[in-house]
Amino acid sequence: MTRLTADDFDPEVLKLFDGYVHGQLSRRDFLARAGRYAVGGTTAATLLAQLSPSFAAPLVAPKDPRLKTSYQEFPSPQGYGKLRGYLVMPANAQRKPPAILVVHENRGLNPHIEDIARRVALEGYIAFAPDALFPLGGYPGDEDSARALFAKLDQAKTRADFVAAVQALEKLPQASGKVGVVGFCFGGGIANYLATQLPELAAAVPFYGAQPPAAEVAKIRTPLMIHDAGKDERILAGWPAYEEALKENKVPYQHFTYPGVEHGFNNDTTPRYDEAAAKLAWGRTMGFFKEKLA
C-alpha cells in the first residue's frame, strides 16, 4: 500500500486539519469545511482518518533488548503534585549518560512519543517523556479524546510539571546531571519555555513550537536549535520577533527552516511527515546534543 504524503491533500485541507489539531476547529467544523475537497468517492471523514496518526509501525520496538524501559513518577510541588512518564535507558551504558527530556505534542504521551524516547535512548542518552495528561487520567488511547482532555489542563501547573521533570533528571542517580530537552509542537513551546526558566539547561531543541514572549528571552542562557516547517504560517509568524530578541540578548541559537514541508513534519505516523526533512533535522539535533551534553 502506497503511503500517503502531504502532497496527496489539497493545501486547504491541510490548513483545516492544522486548525482542528490545535483546537481552532471542532471535529464537526472540520468535516463540514473539508467536505468541499472530498472528491472521487472520498468523504470528509475519510480525509480526517487519512490525516490522523497510525501507530502500527514504531521505528524502535517497545521491547528492544538494547533498552530498559519503565514508567516512573516524580514529585512536582509547584505543579499538579506528581508527574509520571516513560523512562528509557540504554541497557549497557558504560558511564552515566546525560538525560534528555522528550516533550509530546498536544495529545499527551502517545505511542509515537514513546517511540521518539526510545530513539533518543538508542543514541546513548537517558530519555524521559512525561505525560501532561497524567493528572487527568493519562493519555486515553485515542487522539480525539486526548485533544479534548488536553484543553482541560491548567497550563501553569503543566508547565511547572515539566520544570520539575528537568529537575528530577538533574538528580537522577543513573544520569550524569546534564539535561537537554527536545519537544514537538506543544512540546516545542515547552522547550522554549524551559529555556527561559532553567539557565542550567544544557540544550533545548524546539520543533515547530510557539515562541516565548520577547520579554522572557533575556532570561535564556541555554543554547537553542530551532526547527521550523516552511509551510507553517502559524508558527513562522512569531519567528521574526523571537529572532530579534535572541540577537538582542546574545542568546546562542541555530534556526533551520525546512522548505516545502508542513507543521508536524517529524511525526512519521501521519501524512504530514517528510522523510528527508525529518532525517536532516534529527541528525542535526543529535549532533547538537552530542556537542552540548558532553
Verify that 96 and 42 share a domain, yes or no: no
The upper half-sphere exposure of residue 243, i.e. CA atoms within 13 Å in the direction of its Cβ, equals 13
More confident: 190 or 21: 190
Verify that 46 and 72 share a domain, yes or no: no
pLDDT in tens, 276-290: 999 999 999 999 999
Average pLDDT for 168-188: 97
Verify that 40 and 176 share a domain, yes or no: no
State the DSSP H helix or E strand holding residue 255, giving kind and residue range, or none if neither. Answer: strand 253-258
Residue 219, C-beta contacts closer than 8 angstroms, at least 6 positions apart: 196, 197, 199
Asked if residue 57 is part of any domain, the answer here is no
Asked if residue 61 is part of any domain, the answer here is no
Verify that 119 and 27 share a domain, yes or no: no
Distance separating alpha carbons of residues 83 and 174, to the nearest angstrom: 19
Verify that 122 and 18 share a domain, yes or no: no
Asked if residue 59 is part of any domain, the answer here is no
The total number of structural domains that make up the chain:
2
Verify that 104 and 242 share a domain, yes or no: yes
User: Is the model's pLDDT at 72 over the cut of 90?
Assistant: yes
Asked if residue 58 is part of any domain, the answer here is no
Asked if residue 253 is part of any domain, the answer here is yes
Which whole-number Å values give the CA distances from 29 to 25, 35, 54, 107, 291, in the listed order?
6, 10, 23, 19, 46
* AA letter at 90: P
Verify that 151 and 40 share a domain, yes or no: no
Verify that 247 and 271 share a domain, yes or no: yes
User: Is the model's pLDDT at 208 over the cut of 80?
Assistant: yes
Verify that 242 and 145 share a domain, yes or no: yes
> What SS3 class is residue 238?
coil
Q: How high is the pLDDT of residue 54?
A: 87
What is the reported pTM?
A: 0.94
Determine the structural domain holding residue 202 and report its residue range.
67-292
Verify that 122 and 10 share a domain, yes or no: no
Average pLDDT for 244-267: 97
Residue 105, C-beta contacts closer than 8 angstroms, at least 6 positions apart: 113, 184, 185, 186, 187, 264, 267
User: Is the model's pLDDT at 151 over the cut of 80?
Assistant: yes
User: Is the model's pLDDT at 1 over the cut of 70?
Assistant: no
Q: Say which range, 19-33, 193-207, 212-226, 243-257, has the weakest mean pLDDT.
A: 19-33
Verify that 14 and 160 share a domain, yes or no: no
Q: Say which range, 4-8, 130-134, 237-241, 252-256, has the weakest mean pLDDT.
A: 4-8
Verify that 74 and 202 share a domain, yes or no: yes
Asked if residue 231 is part of any domain, the answer here is yes
Q: Say which range, 53-57, 138-142, 265-269, 281-285, has the weakest mean pLDDT.
A: 53-57
Asked if residue 1 is part of any domain, the answer here is no
